[in-house]
Amino acid sequence: MNRRGLALAGMASLVLPQAWAQAAKEPRRVGVLGIGSVAGGSPIEQALADGLRTQGYLQGRDIVLDARWGGGRTEGLPQLAGQLAAMKPAVIVTSGPQATQAVLAADPDVPIVALLGDTVGLGFAAQLGRPGGRLTGVSFLGTPLNAKRLELLAELLPKGSAVLNLCDPGTHRAAAIDNINSAASALGLVSHVACAGTSQEIDVAFSAARRLRVAGINVLGSAFLNGNRARIIELAAKVRLPAIYQWPQTARDGGLLAYGPSTTAMHQQLAALVARILGGAKAGELPIEQPTKFELVINLKTAKAIGAAIPQALLLRADEVIQ
């Protein structure tokens, strides 16, 4: 080999390892799919980016977040899931059963980190400790918290009042409805249930609330209902009925009462699970976690607007009161 050949060989020995190192640093894609929208749903990409940064994964350098949102509708989720699957992500984070089912159908292999009310009850995992398959996530105790919110709402209402429990047919099965009816009976309330899986059905449910002369509304935990929370808050204000919601943020957005897991804490849990999968762990071998922090938020501006009296004992228990 002549000198020129030796020089080229030497340059190649320097360039190729650098190219390999660069390829090894190619950011990995993390998909996000949910029913909400950037404007009013439950976008979590910034929370995930912040959480993953604390785990050592920087946006743009180590990961790229690709989020798709249904805009408060479920029918477009299969197409959005297909778009994410085509990008070959390392993991997809889902919010709600409809989004989770769409990803399961779109890609038979991608690991999933799901935010669900009842992961085992909805059939997405065999058990919390060892879910199996390719899914893990956070299960936020949907059924017992629905009953707890009804209990809090009852503190505002006269004994024997009628209450409308607004449910999502894609989330709440017969057992969940039976549970909420039993809880209402134990509290001395008359329970009415209206299920809404479309925005039009939400309007129909509020028409039923007026017709049934209910005294309050319990919005059951649901990604779909949360994705349409702006409309629900608006309708509750129009009929001047006290309503309680799933996520603390809803009261900050204008809802009267909200009780549920801290979204900040849950997003941190989701990010930690994503980081473990990026590090090589198998999703189905990671225990499904449960929330560790809960918040009660009361909006006194809304209370004044609809003429609702909030008992002092309830105000004293609140984690946040919006004046």
The 10s digit of each residue's pLDDT in 271-303 is 999 999 999 999 999 999 999 899 999 999 999
Return the closest-CA partner of residue 225 out of 237, 243, 207, 240: 243
Residue 251 has pLDDT above 50, yes or no: yes
Average pLDDT over residues 224-246: 95
Contact 243, 26 (CB under 8 A): no
**Is-contact 48 271, C-beta < 8 A?**
yes
**Which has the higher per-residue pLDDT, 122 or 287?**
287
Cβ-proximal residues to 116 (8 Å cutoff; 6+ apart), any chain:
96, 97, 100, 122, 124, 137, 138, 139, 140, 142
Tokens of 301: 């501006």
Q: Is the pLDDT of residue 6 over 80?
A: no
Looking only at the bridges linking them, the beta strands covering 135-139 and 112-116 are parallel
Per-residue pLDDT band for 184 (boundaries 50, 70, 90) equals very high
Sequence-ordered list of residues with C-beta below 8 angstroms from that of 104, at least 6 positions apart, any chain: 112, 135
**pLDDT over 90 percentage in the chain:** 75
Q: What is the pLDDT of residue 24?
A: 53
d(CA 130, CA 45): 27
Over residues 30-42, the pLDDT tens digits come to: 999 998 876 544 5
Please state the rounded mean pLDDT for residues 186-193: 96
The token pair at 125 is 């995992």
Q: What are the structural domains, with CATH classification, of the chain?
A: 25-141+262-285 (3.40.50.2300), 142-261+294-322 (3.40.50.2300)
For the segment 109-136, the average pLDDT, to the nearest whole number, is 92
Q: What's the pLDDT at 38?
A: 63
Q: Are the C-beta atoms of residues 125 and 135 closer than 8 Å to each other?
A: yes
DSSP tag of 285: G
How many other CB atoms are found less than 10 A from the CB of residue 4? 8
Cβ atoms of 244 and 218 within 8 Å: the answer is: yes
Task: With CA atoms as reference, report the closest residue to 132 among 287, 289, 272, 278.
Answer: 287
**How many other CB atoms sit within 10 Å of the CB of residue 76?**
14
1: tokens are: 């080999």
pLDDT of the residue at 21: 41
Average pLDDT over the chain, rounded to an integer: 89
